[in-house]
Amino acid sequence: MRTKKKSDAVKFLESISDGPLTLGSVLNSLRLAEDMTQAQMAKKLRISTAHLSQIEKGHKFLSPERAQAFAKKLGHSPVMFVKYSLQDQLTRAKLPYKIVLEAS
């Protein structure tokens, strides 16, 4: 049942975003949902506010390892963060693949 809710949440986020979800747009959505400023989230992630802004805007990308670390620091699903990190890399490379990921 939880998978269905996540699917509905992802569909909702995609419907209000400017395109497919990215790790940056997920971070932005989580930050806004938790009523945090960029400065507050950046402090939690131990990065600069400017760096967080660049990630949210899609100007900077995270490795899967760093995405997992961010998820843990924020208390969210590492699988979701790693999935979007990998998807961002494929999209940036203009490769027509979709990541489906599950924890082993």
pLDDT tens profile 65-100 = 999 999 999 999 999 999 999 999 999 999 999 999
Residue 4 pLDDT level (bands cut at 50, 70, 90): very low
Per-residue pLDDT at 2 exceeds 80: no
Helix (H) and strand (E) counts in the chain: 6, 0
Per-residue pLDDT tens for 54-64? Answer: 999 999 999 99
Give dist(CA 88, CA 93) in Å, integer. 9
pTM metric for this prediction: 0.84
User: Residues of 1-30 as b/e, b for ≥16 C-beta within 10 angstroms?
Assistant: eeeeeeeeeeeebeeeeeeebbbbbbbbbb
The dotted CATH code for 2-92 is 1.10.260.40
> Structure tokens of 96?
């027509």
Domain boundaries, the chain: 2-92
Q: Is the pLDDT of residue 6 over 90?
A: no
- If one counts every other C-beta atom within 10 angstroms of the C-beta of residue 36, the result is 15
